[in-house]
């Protein structure tokens, strides 16, 4: 039976280097790590993981709490987290919670049971909210839907600025009646994107109209239904902004069913830049946000907490980019530009 000394001999390194590579691969130079892992494979060596965990008091497991894996954006976040965890020698335990608080607490408690080392939460809910002492909190990072004034390290996007930028883009194209299909009720993303939309409307001197805002839940079906409500208005909007690409794609289907053209009859914009957005007919104007980077940065920040590395920033704000495509176009209003300030 092979042992760690045989692996060290094949790799041309010390036993200590082999041990470090298996325990903390991020602390080993890539060339050395590759040689050690090749030697492990050649020797058929299988380390005693239970012994490693006992000595280090770590499991090598990271829990990631996901509201729904059916959402394309979250799937990309998970992909980024998985790659980062694997590269650092950790395993990612995916927990699809459907936004249920009891499930989130149950999965997060794996840390207390010494079955995981830390938690990544992708929803605005603190599974450890019963713990009052910061000293008692297990390692946890909040990403994507950030808890307002939360006590955990966070990774977010400036959703207010992003939604404002998209609304300003539509206003610059001449649109005065811009409909908004919102995301899930209670979501910080919904709140912030609505705030950005309203800021842009006010600053352009336009009037806010409650009829131009309808509720959704980030899903295809919500976009389809919301577009139906907007198109049924006597004075329908000339542009429609959906708080997610999936809702925009649902809206696109409804618009076409009504016999209207995008963007000739109505402009359409989304948020997220999921892969499908570029392949719609027409391609979707949207806000691009680095979904995979959310996962990567969350894992890096969590591992830093677990391994007590120098404290990273408590709040990281990732960049966004407005990506114009064929679903939005200029409208020539039957009034002068000065009427924007009426």
Cβ contact 204:170 at 8 Å:
no
- Longest alpha-carbon distance in the chain: 85
Query: Across the strands, what pairs with 269?
Result: 241, 285
In the chain, what is the straight-line distance between the N-terminal and C-terminal CA atoms, in Å? 84
**CATH architecture for the domain at 58-152+291-319:** 3-Layer(aba) Sandwich (3.40)
Q: Give the pLDDT confidence of 275-288 residue by residue, as tens digits.
A: 999 999 999 999 99
b/e map 300-338, b = 16+ CB within 10 Å: bbbbbbbbeeeebeeebebebeebebebbbebeeeeeee
- DSSP SS3 for 74: helix
- CATH T-level assignment (fold) for domain 159-285+324-341: Rossmann fold (3.40.50)
Is residue 173 within 8 Å of 267, Cβ to Cβ?
yes
CA dist 118 and 109 (Å) reads 10
Location of each CATH 1.10.260.40 domain in the chain: 4-55
Q: 0.85 exceeded by the pTM? A: no
Question: Looking at residue 4, what is its pLDDT?
Answer: 78
Percent of the chain with pLDDT over 90: 61
Strand-pair category, 118-121 with 61-66: parallel
Confidence label for 26 from pLDDT (cuts 50, 70 and 90): low
Higher pLDDT, 341 or 323: 323
Domain at 4-55, CATH class: mainly alpha
Query: What are the residue ranges of CATH 3.40.50.2300 in the chain?
Result: 58-152+291-319, 159-285+324-341
């Amino acid at each position: 039976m092979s042992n760690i000394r045989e692996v060290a001999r094949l790799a041309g390194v010390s036993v200590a280097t082999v041990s470090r590579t298996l325990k903390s691969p991020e602390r080993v130079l890539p060339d050395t790590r590759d040689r050690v892992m090749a030697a492990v494979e050649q020797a058929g060596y299988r380390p005693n993981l239970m012994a490693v965990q006992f000595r280090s008091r770590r499991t090598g497991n990271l829990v990631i709490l996901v509201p729904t894996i059916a959402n394309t954006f979250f799937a990309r976040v998970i992909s980024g987290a998985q790659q980062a965890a694997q590269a650092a020698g950790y395993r990612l335990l995916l927990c699809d919670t459907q936004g249920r608080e009891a499930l989130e607490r149950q999965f997060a408690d794996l840390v207390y049971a010494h079955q995981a080392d830390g938690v990544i939460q992708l929803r605005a809910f603190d599974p450890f909210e019963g713990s009052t002492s910061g000293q008692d909190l297990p390692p946890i990072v909040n990403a994507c839907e950030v808890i307002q004034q939360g006590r955990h390290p966070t990774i977010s996007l400036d959703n207010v600025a992003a939604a404002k930028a998209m609304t300003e883009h539509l206003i610059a194209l001449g649109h005065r009646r811009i409909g908004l299909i919102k995301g899930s009720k209670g979501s910080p993303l919904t709140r912030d994107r609505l705030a950005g939309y309203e800021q842009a409307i006010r600053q352009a001197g336009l009037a806010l109209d409650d009829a131009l805002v309808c509720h959704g839940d980030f899903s295809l079906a919500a976009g389809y239904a919301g577009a139906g409500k907007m198109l049924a208005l006597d004075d329908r909007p000339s542009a429609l902004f959906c708080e997610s690409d999936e809702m925009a794609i649902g809206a696109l289907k409804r618009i076409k069913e009504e016999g209207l053209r995008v963007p000739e009859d109505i402009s359409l914009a989304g948020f997220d830049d999921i892969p499908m957005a570029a392949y719609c007919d027409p391609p979707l104007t949207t806000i691009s946000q680095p979904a995979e980077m959310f996962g990567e940065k969350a894992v890096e920040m969590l591992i830093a907490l677990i391994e007590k590395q120098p404290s990273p920033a408590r709040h990281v704000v990732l960049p966004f980019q407005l990506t114009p495509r064929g679903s939005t176009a200029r409208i020539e209003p039957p009034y002068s530009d000065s009427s924007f300030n009426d």
